Amino acid sequence: LVEELDLAPVDARSTYELLVTAIRMAEEPLSRLDRKLINASVKEMRYAFNVFSKYRDRKKVSVFGSARTPAGDPNYELAKELGKRMAEAGWMVVTGAGPGIMSAANEGAGQESSFGVNIVLPFEAKPNPFIASDPKLINFKYFFTRKLMFMKEAEAFVLFPGGFGTLDELFELLTLSQTGKSDLHPIVMIEANTGYWPAIDQTLKDVLQTHRYIDREDVGLYYLTESVDDAVAHIQRFYRVYHSQRYVDGKLILRLNVDIPDEKVGALSQEFIDSLRGPIQRVGTSSSERQDGDVPDLPRLKLDFDRSHFGRLRQLIDRLNE
């Protein structure tokens, strides 16, 4: 069956393994609920990935915040302006498709530059009118598949004040970044001078940092601001030199939008020696990257990174972008 699909070898292998998993599931003593959960979650991921696949050439920012923020509220207006500015910069805006902050960001970005990843709940409002009729609205039964799309498909994240859901998304982002389970991206916490994010920030420092549950540098994984101009500039600055990252044969490869002088490579090696096992080196495109068409023409740096101090890696990327 797989041979008849005419897939590339690596794609054929993963498709074969997916079919084997389904057959094994049929033979194992799983409950009906287990089978329904697996089936529904795979269907949701397949459909969502297919929708996003048509727009992989455009950067995206996921915007989080309270569904209870009313139109006209300073944070609503801030989210609307952020969506507008990011769309003008060529980015697409991904929201949870609901009211409040989500509606504001979609309104600002416009339907053409918006995605909505909606969770179907018995008590929440329908998708907001700025994304409701668009084919880029995707409905989810499960929070975990929805959250996967927020995290996987975006190159930046902006959080406005919100409730448990917003904080859940914040700590998921920070956990993925701190543990290296996600590439590093800008995480911006923005508000209209309400004291919400400064209070969260101070709590993280007073409790987690003081008790050494996080490294001192880990609070640098996120950025606080009250200005849309500052938020947009912070996101764009992150990608001024840095493009993306990938591990090849256990080494971290940083792909660059523009090359940097040898002197800067040497200076970065010295400054971040505490999280590197050797000097940073220039390197060509690996065969695996070339085979995948993974930006093969960009200049690259190879880091023997300790895969532990991701707050320091974020600082290295910031220095790279200066």
CA distance 230 to 227: 5
> Residue 124's pLDDT is what?
64
Q: What is the mean pLDDT of the chain?
A: 96
Model's pTM, two decimal places?
0.95
Look at residues 112, 94, 101 and name the one whose alpha carbon lies nearest to residue 75: 101
> Residue 126's pLDDT is what?
87
Residue 142, Cβ density class (10 Å: 0-12 exposed, 13-18 middle, ≥19 buried): middle
> Residue 123's pLDDT is what?
76
Pull the structure tokens for residue 317.
């990327």
Instruction: Please identify which residue in the block is written with the tokens 């080196």.
Output: 281
DSSP string, 211-247: TTSS-GGGGGGSEEES-HHHHHHHHHHHTSSEEEEEE
pLDDT in tens, the chain (322 residues): 777 787 888 888 899 999 999 999 999 999 999 999 999 999 999 999 999 999 999 999 999 999 999 999 999 999 999 999 999 999 999 999 999 999 999 999 999 999 999 999 887 678 999 999 999 999 999 999 999 999 999 999 999 999 999 999 999 999 999 999 999 999 999 999 999 999 999 999 999 999 999 999 999 999 999 999 999 999 999 999 999 999 999 999 999 999 999 999 999 999 999 999 999 999 999 999 999 999 999 999 999 999 999 999 999 999 999 9
307 SS3 class: coil
Q: What is the pLDDT of residues 152-187, one digit of tens each?
A: 999 999 999 999 999 999 999 999 999 999 999 999
CA distance 26 to 227: 54
Beta bridge partners of 249: none
CA distance 94 to 83: 9
Instruction: Please identify which residue in the block is written with the tokens 């660059």.
Output: 256
